Chain A
Amino acid sequence: MKLKINGEWVDDLPDALSVSALLTHLQLPVKKIAVERNLKIVPKSTFDTATLAEGDQLEIIHFIGGG
């Protein structure tokens, strides 16, 4: 499966990947980020069940808390 992640196409990902599995694959820290899929934030409680589809466009958003 092919996904666009932070503006770059990534090929050869396993099909029917969940958001959690993708984050594990990319070694990203779940607690520090939000995942945006096709311009919509994926609720964190659904990361295990949200299944990604060919051509999805994802952005990894790092939480910031400064003010």
Chain B
Amino acid sequence: MTPEQISRYARHLVLKEIGGPGQAKLLAANIAIIGAGGLGGPAGLYLAAAGVGKITIIDDDAVDITNLQRQIQFVQTDIGALKTEAMGGALVDLNPDITVRREQMRLTDDNAADLLRGHDLILDGTDSFQTRFIVNDASLYLGIPLISGALGRFDGQISVFSGNGADGPCYRCLVPSIPPDAQTCAQVGVVGALAGIIGAQMALEAVKMITGAGAPLIGKLYLFDGLAATARTVTLPKDPACPACGAK
């Protein structure tokens, strides 16, 4: 680590759970963020600040003025720019230690395995159950752990899936089939600060997974109720008949 890095990461280095070895793991880590939106943005900013050495951003969208209420990785002058470019620039501006790979495309069944192969961790903050299923399949196929966050109105949900169907649940043990008439944030609304809470928590779980600090949310589901200011963590068991990871 350079003298500048020792200064930059000083608050990590004093933590016994991270320290020099943990910071070295963060600098060597390669994390994919799917969706440069309300969750991917704050998660990406914190991971860049934490010195995660390689970050891939996958998104096919451009910045719209309606994003700015919560997607704090963007500024007014980004409107109309590609999200991967604008967010990639923001992350590199924040921390020149890191490299950002920008994948300007929608994740599909056909490209998911190729796009995600080689990463240590996948963060899913997309706005579509269909994409969440594709990400989950790729996580299981490649054996890469998945941090899954979701928002709606004042509620947030987050869980970590090991990527190994044998020890613990996958996303579809929770959501086996696509909920009918699923409503997006555009339809039901979402309070902006909630994106920061859940996105930052996804980054925290990522830091824990990479450094080995603490107990990650594997086999657990964290539920946050912003209106009541309450949260609870419940056990999420594997569904033996799961369509993605169950016995075939």
Mark A residues whose CB is within 8 Å of B: 29, 31-32, 34, 36, 39-41, 43-46, 59, 61-67
Contact = CB atoms under 8 A, between A and B. Distances in A.
**The 10 A-B residue pairs with the shortest CB-CB distance in the complex, in nearest-first order:** A64-B152, A45-B241, A43-B239, A66-B185, A67-B125, A40-B235, A66-B151, A32-B179, A67-B39, A65-B129
A44 B159 CA distance: 17
B234 A31 contact: no
B180 interface: yes
A34 B37 CA distance: 25
Nearest to B156: A64
Contact of A44 (B157, B190, B239): B239
Contact of B179 (A31, A43, A59): A31
B83 interface: no
B190 to A, nearest CB: 6
A67 B35 contact: yes
**Size range of the chain B interface in the assembly:** 35 or more
A66 B232 contact: no
B65 interface: no
B180 A29 contact: yes
13 contacts: A31-B179, A41-B174, A43-B240, A45-B241, A45-B242, A59-B234, A64-B153, A65-B128, A65-B132, A66-B152, A66-B184, A67-B124, A67-B149
A27 B84 CA distance: 43
B73 interface: no
